[in-house]
Each structure stands twice: as C-alpha cells, then as structure tokens.
A and B are shown apart, each in its own frame.
Chain A
Amino acid sequence: MNSVGEACTELKREYDQCFNRWFADKFLKGESAGDPCGQLFKRYQLCVQKAIKEKDIPIEGLEFMGPSKGKTENST
C-alpha cells in the first residue's frame, strides 16, 4: 500500500510493520506500555506532513497542521 506522498512509502512500510506487530502482540493483549515504533513514526510523519502541505489536502481538526509553529524568523 502506498503513501499519499510517493517519497514516504518506504518509511510508511517500515512503520506499518512495526506497528502491526506491536498492535497484535502487545496492545490487544493489554500491554500498551512502551512505544517501540516511536522513532519510525516520527520520520514517517514528517514526510507525510510535507506531502499533505504540498498537495494542499484539507485535513480537518488535527493540530499537527500548524506549519510555522516553533520557527523563528531571522531578521537581517
């Protein structure tokens, strides 16, 4: 299955594999502590956010869509 951003598909696959294993082996059995997929997810998410902005997809109601939060502008 592909990602909305073509460049993100590989990152997505790695994350999905990690998540699916954790979901079935840990989460559903009541062991949700720990996040073995956190790093993979961060890298994958950054890629997807960029793709969504580039394609101008109107996502509703999710905080991650703030583009310039935390960025400071340099004045010359």
Chain B
Amino acid sequence: HPWETVTTAAMQKYPNPMNPGVVGVDVLQRQVDAGGKLHSHRLLSTEWGIPAIVKSLIGTCRTKTYVQEHSVVDPVKKTMELKSRNISFTNLVSVDERLVYKPHPREPDKTILTQEAIISVKGVSLSSYLEGLMANTISSNAKKGREALEWVINRLNAEIEEFTASARGTMRNSMAAAAFVEK
C-alpha cells in the first residue's frame, strides 16, 4: 500500500482484532514543528486478560500496562517514525520499539517498514531462554502489526465505499424527484 495509506492507518491503528489487549489510546501532546513534521505523544493502555480472582487480589488499577509512544510524520520526506516504550508500575522489563515507515524506493505503491526492539531487564540476570522467547514474541508481534494495519486499511476503504454509495443513492433520488417535478 502507498505510504499515505499506511501512515493514515497507523494513526488509527486501534482498535483492531489483532491487538485485543489495547483498551485505550490517548494523545498526550501533538504539534507540528518548525520543519513541518507532526510530533505526537500518545499513551496506550493495555490489559492482558488477567483472571478476575487475581484482579481482586492485586486491585484493578494495577492490571494495566501502559505504553508511551512518540511518533514523527514528515509529509515532505514521507517518513513516519514511531518509538514506543512500555511503562508500568513494576518496571522490571522494558521494551523499546522503533518502527519506520517509508515509501518503497522502486515501487511507489508500496511501503517499507523497518522495526527493531530492545529488551532490557532490570536487576535480574538475563537468561538466554527468556530473551529468545521475548524475541520470538516480538517478531510474531511484528507480523501481527502488519496484519493489523491491513485490517485498518480495509476498514477505511469500506467506509469510503459505503459513503460513496450512499451519496450516489441520494443524488439519484434528488434527480428523480427533480424530473418528476418538471413533468
């Protein structure tokens, strides 16, 4: 899909069925800088389906984890960069992710995404198994992320088609009414 389509979809990524854990999205700050780039700072609230009994023990306010996301969209250079980090009350594991969307250099109808993730664990000796597990999860999440955008793009296209169809229907009705009156 062309870069504009992917970027528009990325700004409206949630909700989507591939990321059911994301329950809230808020814009904390947003501005266009002197260079014409749009900076957005967003907060994503996620919920991981913790069983009710656990929730009642630890209290509902501690079952959400939050992700802070900073995105920069440059409409002239056609780049969108997203940096996100999870913030949570325990702060033991942090995952920093960086995604960059750019038009494909040779095929203008396509967009290239590069994605990297840095996992840090505080105060715990790292076991390579745990690291491997998280790396796998992150790479399958990357695939999920592409599927999620695909879903959003389809939804936006369906909305446009529906809007066009109903506009056409309205015009036909008014033309028929005008023809009737003229007789």
Tell me how many residues of B have a C-beta within 8 Å of chain A.
Answer: 30
Q: Does B4 contact A (CB under 8 A)?
A: yes
Q: Does A30 contact B (CB under 8 A)?
A: yes
Known contacts being A27-B75, A41-B30, A59-B68, is A4 close to B61, with CB within 8 Å? no
Q: CB distance A57 to B8 under 8 Å?
A: no
Between A and B, how many residue pairs show CB distances below 8 Å? 77
Q: CB distance B26 to A27 under 8 Å?
A: no
Q: CB distance B27 to A41 under 8 Å?
A: yes
Contact residues in A for B89 (Cβ distance below 8 Å): 58
From residue B108, how far is it (CB to closest CB) to chain A in Å? 15
Q: Does B136 contact A (CB under 8 A)?
A: no
Q: Does B20 contact A (CB under 8 A)?
A: no
Q: Which of B11, B24, B66, B73 contacts A1 (CB 8 A)?
A: B24
Chain B residues near A (Cβ < 8 Å): 4, 7-8, 11-12, 14-15, 22-30, 32, 36, 38, 41, 43, 45, 61, 66, 68, 73, 75-76, 87, 89
Q: Which 4 A-B pairs have the closest CB atoms?
A: A4-B24, A24-B8, A2-B24, A48-B26
Chain A residues near B (Cβ < 8 Å): 1-5, 8, 12, 15-16, 19-20, 23-24, 27-30, 32, 41, 44-45, 48, 52, 55, 57-60, 62, 64
